[in-house]
Amino acid sequence: MKTPQQSYRLTEIFYSIQGEGLYTGMPAVFVRFAGCLMACEFCDTVYVEKFKMTAPQILAEIKKYPTQTVVITGGEPAEQPLSELIKFLTAAGLKVHVETNGSVYFDPAGAENITVSPKKYVDARMLSAAHVIKILAGRETDYDDLKKYFQYFSPSRLLYLQPRDNKQENIDLCVKIIKQNPFLRLSLQTHKFANIE
């Protein structure tokens, strides 16, 4: 396996518990990439660049922790050469999960899980490549806009609604929509409820 030569712009690397989606409750090392061109006004993540690391340096940091699962998140990780890093980490024996807004297509080969959380723009190829599509929903959500993602549901591709900001009114709305469309699932940000860093 060829080692990626570039440095990746990062915000943080930390060991914690996955708080949302399909793998809720699973320990993982989170590699948070810096930068996101969408810069959504409701984003709850700090993704300014704090340091740079090469792929071998990232791997060495991940190996300090007792898990084989790594979550590459952001910001938007696909704005950097992501496919090469996925292949490198997979070749090292890691289970790679990627959280992306799906705006930039990348080759997902080797990743155990791709979660696409569409925002202002999403590349349809990423929706087709996703294992999970996780849609933020709240009172301002346009139901007709939401329904366009329903076509991507399959036994191998799950669709989650995640209440924006964990607000009760948004949770109630998501529950109502899910009851009307029982192929959907609810994703709560359990790490925030449990105050897990």
Residues acting as catalytic residues: 30, 36, 40, 43-45, 99, 191
CB-CB contact of 13 with 30 (8 Å): yes
Peptide bond preceding 75: is omega within 30 degrees of 0, i.e. cis? yes
How far is the C-alpha of 139 from the C-alpha of 195, rounded, in Å?
Answer: 25
Residue 133 Cα distances to 59, 141, 155, 192, angstroms = 27, 16, 13, 21
Contact between 83 and 1 under an 8 Å Cβ cutoff? The reply is no
What backbone phi and psi angles, to 5 degrees, belong to 132? Answer: -135, 135
In 128-137, which positions are buried (b, 16+ CB within 10 angstroms) versus exposed (e)? Answer: ebbbbbbbbb
* Alpha-carbon dihedral sign for residues 36, 103, 116, 139: positive
